[in-house]
Amino acid sequence: MSRRLISNLHALDADAGVPTLAGVRGYVFDVDGTLALADKHLSGYQPLPGARELLALLRQREVPYVAFTNGSAKTPAHLSHALSHIGIQIDEQQMLTPVSVALDLFKRRGYKRVLVLGGEGVWKPLVDAGFDVVRAPERADDADAVLIGWYPGFVLADLDAACRAVWAGAALYTVSKAAYLASREGRTLGVSGAIAAAVRSVTGKNAVVVGKPSAQALACASTRLGIKPAQMAIVGDDISLENAMALRGGAFSVGVHTGLNSAADFDALPPQSRPHLSLSGVDRLLEMLK
């Protein structure tokens, strides 16, 4: 991090004991509701104020950053292209989805065969990484794991395939249990959480979350940035995702009001659960860093 940036950050708050951005060496940005807003079909992105300029400033000062979405409709490559098209410059290597976390986790656990309930954003990264992927509603009763992602075309046969794999011993994972996410049209249903709840209602097995706010997600971001969680700022609009992940992992939390949660929502939290900074948007963070 440049001396100028560190100097500016120390100047933000001189009172000892008051959290500042001075210790931050890298950033994790949410996408939907933080950097951009899509339509209810998770396409047609529009940048939020300050997003393009903030990332440009970080690149200029050689401060590492990644974008981490809980969405799994698109692969990191597709999402990188969609965001770059509107001027939000995020390389594929800087783009994380819950499937990025699942790849690391599944490799460590020695899984080979995975039943997927999801579209290309879920199954393609697994195929590219060499996993034996079966796409529901095709059955895979011998699967090592079941992974649930963005899957608006879900039908009863998919539920049957997932439950049979779980009954046969497969581990159960979901990209998220969030009930909804932010879009330009308000709240959009969080499909993966609803499907995971359906599987649990039949099998009694809770799905392990690989996306935010899981410890695995934080570790994946830390590895990608090459810094410890205590050295990163996590910027997002969701109290239960980015803010929760930051506070649990010892990272610096920045809550923004451009997505799901408002300033009043953040203020209503118990003091120990509030973000270190509650800002109107990333444009305000840009002003602070200049």
pLDDT band at residue 8 under the 50/70/90 scheme: very low
Q: In this structure, are 103 and 189 located in the same domain?
A: yes
Position 211 scores a pLDDT of 95
Instruction: For residue range 38-54, list pLDDT tens digits in order.
Output: 876 666 789 999 999 99
Q: In this structure, are 240 and 259 located in the same domain?
A: yes
Q: In this structure, are 189 and 127 located in the same domain?
A: yes
Position 40 scores a pLDDT of 63
Task: Give the residue with greater pLDDT, 10 vs 116.
Answer: 116
State yes or no: pLDDT of 150 exceeds 50: yes
Q: In this structure, are 90 and 185 located in the same domain?
A: no
Of 184, 209, 234, the residue that ends a domain is 209
Instruction: For residue range 73-88, list pLDDT tens digits in order.
Output: 899 999 999 999 999 9
State yes or no: pLDDT of 126 exceeds 90: yes
pLDDT band at residue 187 under the 50/70/90 scheme: low
pTM: 0.87
Q: In this structure, are 250 and 177 located in the same domain?
A: no
Structural domain span for residue 87:
3-97+213-289
Looking up residue 194, the CATH number of its domain turns out to be 3.40.50.1000
Q: In this structure, are 115 and 193 located in the same domain?
A: yes
Q: In this structure, are 174 and 275 located in the same domain?
A: no
The mean of the pLDDT values for the chain is: 90
b/e map of 225-242 (b: 16 or more CB within 10 Å)?
bebebebbbbbbbbbebb
Total domains in the chain come to 2
Q: Pull the structure tokens for residue 108.
A: 């460590």
Instruction: For residue range 221-247, list pLDDT tens digits in order.
Output: 999 999 999 999 999 999 999 999 999
State yes or no: pLDDT of 115 exceeds 70: yes
pLDDT band at residue 13 under the 50/70/90 scheme: very low
Exposure on the CB side of residue 98, measured as CA atoms within 13 A: 28
- β partners of residue 236: 255
Of 182, 209, 236, the residue that ends a domain is 209
Instruction: For residue range 95-105, list pLDDT tens digits in order.
Output: 999 999 999 99
Determine which of 115-129, 135-149, 151-165, 172-186 has the lowest per-residue pLDDT on average.
Answer: 172-186
Position 7 scores a pLDDT of 33
Q: In this structure, are 221 and 90 located in the same domain?
A: yes
What's the average model confidence in pLDDT over 138-158? 96
Q: In this structure, are 221 and 275 located in the same domain?
A: yes
